[in-house]
Structure 1
Amino acid sequence: MLENPRIVIIGGVAGGMSAATRLRRLMEHASITVIERSANVSYANCGLPYHVGGIIPERDSLLLQTPESLHKRFRLDVRVSHEASEIDRTAKTLKVRDLVTGEVETVEWDTLILSPGARPALPPIEGIERAHTLRTVEDADSLIAASANAKRVVAMGGGFIGLELAENFRHRGLAVDLIEAAPQLMAPIDMEMAQYVHEHMAANGVTVHLNRRVSAINVTNVVLDNGDVIDTDLVISAIGVRPDSTLAQVA
């Protein structure tokens, strides 16, 4: 093993930052660099829907660490707003682009760890580019801005994110239609337990559409697969995620 290895980690949220801090405890003299596409690292992503809903009013409450605090405590070189674009396994180099300046640099590594997380899954439907997703702090910023004057919201997906966003938009007083392709919300639980979720949604004013899919997203409405049209000011896609494995596949 090298005495002072150069370790590069792609991804600086839960998995990547946990790996970085653990490696520092195990390898005092290693050079550890973390590359993160978004502008923030180590944030409380479970709190994002509640920030959108105003229950967590301060954005800074979501930010657990900063590049500066991580460097001070763990001597980590954390580069936010940087995207890894190409891995050369033979030369052991990584092309990294600064998303602010556009500059590209080559980073050398002895050990490379991939922890880019996941990307939102988007259904192949007309107008999907109009839908918002929620994975990062920047996504939350975008949702807050887009919903500032909204009165109606359509959320696609009856899992954790869809339900939490429905809850939080109702907390803000918006009308919410929740579209779920399955015969129940919260697919991991059995139907008997899901009934309590359905009742809770109805009691809080959320209109739930089960066994339905959105077939098109227009400027002022969505069209369901049975032809029903729902007027809306904002559409959210929360149907799940897919592994962000593109970089690894082409390496």
Structure 2
Amino acid sequence: MSKRIVIIGGVAGGTTAATQARRNDRDAEIIIYDRDKDISYSGCSLPYYIGKIVNTRREIVPRDSKYFKEKFNVDVKILHEVTYIDSKNKKVKVKNLSTGEEFEDHYDKLVIATGASPFIPNKEWMDKDNVFVLRNVESADRIKKYIEEKNPKKALIVGTGFIGMELCENLTEIGIDVTMVELKDQVMPTLDRDMANRIEEYIKEKGVTIYTGEEVKSLLGEKSAKKAVTDKRVIDADMVILSIGIRANVDLALNAGVNIGKTKAIRVNEKMETNLEDIYAAGDCAEIYSLIHEDYVYRPLGTTANKMGRIAGKNATGEDLSYEGILSTGIFKIFDKTVAFLGMNQREAEALGKKVDIHYVKTYNKPPFMSGASIMYIKIMVEKESEKILGIQIFGGEGVDKTIDTYVAAITFGARKRDLALIDLSYSPPYSTVNSPVIQSGVIMEGSLES
């Protein structure tokens, strides 16, 4: 008798789980339920779709239900919401959002990949026709349509995280005057203040207005928001985008008896198993173990979701794979610069009582005489006793992506502070300095050079 695998959610974690399950078991019945219209889309590309860097909707939604059926024999039911999980009897209750019909389905294995939703401080704000969040392709469509039809001159972005920064760039590039408001006293609160200050200074040079340490209290206007009132000022705006972070969608799992971790996301082990038998979780709804933090963290990124989905799909079909953990790696583009980081920030290290050394590197990505050479600022935090690299933050132009990924590879395979100076990396003037930024950081940490 064939196994039936039900997957709740059809973006990165869910569709990856489905395709990996199919590769392992050609006879299994695999079905995905998703409450949205679009599946398997590139959520990270949405700001660039709004900013017209991505030209067509099809480029960020390349696959539909028909594709998964024809290529993988996976049934995908869009506009179907799973409303209840009966783990004892291995059943789910499903509502067809198009017809209102409700029905039950059964499973042998269940993968929860319900994703996350934007945090909205005041639900009433969303009643205004020019207040938006960026959650999925439909929400991007609404923002894009509003810009094309209303031609707004001023936009307010509330929040300065990943998405806020990418929206800031893309809105500015299409001629909209952008103001950003951040509740914390620095932009990009996940970074250390000294690195965040470099980013803020650079963005202001691009004409963006930034207010930190302020909270938006209200939006004035009946049908549309005309002004935003913070605890310090009033800001004119033709449109408002709330980018204050996201929260894991855990209600369905919680009601079924699934354990929720301290990050308020679903707790899974290294096999993506929850505490309930035959129920797995993957993607933005679940927390994940961080090798550097040596604890569970919440890192809702597409790369992590894909890896978690892969493990869940394989293990749901009989394998016994483990995902040892992440390094909490991230990167984003802001105008002509790139910001990248891994591990923990200094505040986290201090809160954990760790004794650390901080090293700074200012270098070029390639020799200054080569075309495209640009300055890169690197901050490295190392645990004194163990020489374990706890955190890296980089701000610069070309080459930041290569540099952070080199650090990631080295640390993944056990590199410590002492190892970086002698790592055998490629060199040619069009691509790198003779001692690459990674090697330079190793030499500086040895004490051979002043940073």
TM-score by length of 1: 0.94
* 217, 239, 247: which one aligns with 1:242: 247
Amino acid at match of 1:132: F
In the TM superposition, residue 90 of structure 1 has moved relative to its aligned partner by 2.8
Superposition map of 1:188-227 within 5 A: 188-219=190-221, 220-226=226-232
1:232 aligned onto 2:234: no
Superposition map of 1:55-134 within 5 A: 55-124=53-122, 127=125, 129-130=127-128, 131-134=131-134
1:129-163, Cα deviation, whole Å (9 max, x unpaired): 44311110001011112233211111110001111
Deviation larger for 116-125 or 72-81: 116-125
* 152, 155, 166: which one aligns with 1:153: 155
In the TM superposition, residue 235 of structure 1 has moved relative to its aligned partner by 1.0
1:144 aligned onto 2:144: yes
Separation of aligned partners in 1, 2:125 and 2:79? 28
Q: Which runs of 5+ in 2 are unaligned?
A: 257-451
Deviation larger for 150-159 or 127-136: 127-136
Separation of aligned partners in 2, 1:141 and 1:190? 34
Amino acid at match of 1:17: T
Seq. identity, %: 37
Superposition map of 1:23-42 within 5 A: 23-42=21-40
RMSD: 1.5
Contact 1:82-1:96 at 8 Å conserved across structures: yes
Separation of aligned partners in 1, 2:87 and 2:242? 36
1:48 aligned onto 2:50: no
Contact 1:122-1:237 at 8 Å conserved across structures: yes
Amino acid at match of 1:237: L
SS in 1 for 2:132: coil
Separation of aligned partners in 1, 2:83 and 2:177? 41
1:54-99, Cα deviation, whole Å (9 max, x unpaired): 1112111101321111111111001112111122223322121222
1:215-249, Cα deviation, whole Å (9 max, x unpaired): 001221110012x1111111111110111001111
Separation of aligned partners in 1, 2:94 and 2:187? 41
Separation of aligned partners in 1, 2:123 and 2:58? 35
Separation of aligned partners in 1, 2:146 and 2:96? 27
Separation of aligned partners in 2, 1:96 and 1:242? 23
Amino acid at match of 1:112: L
SS in 2 for 1:147: helix
In the TM superposition, residue 44 of structure 1 has moved relative to its aligned partner by 0.9
In the TM superposition, residue 195 of structure 1 has moved relative to its aligned partner by 2.3
SS in 2 for 1:132: strand
Deviation larger for 116-125 or 153-162: 116-125
- The structure whose RCO (Cα within 8 Å, separation 6+) is larger is 1
1:188-216, Cα deviation, whole Å (9 max, x unpaired): 22222212211221122110011111000
Separation of aligned partners in 1, 2:192 and 2:27? 50
State how many pairs are aligned.
248
TM-score by length of 2: 0.53
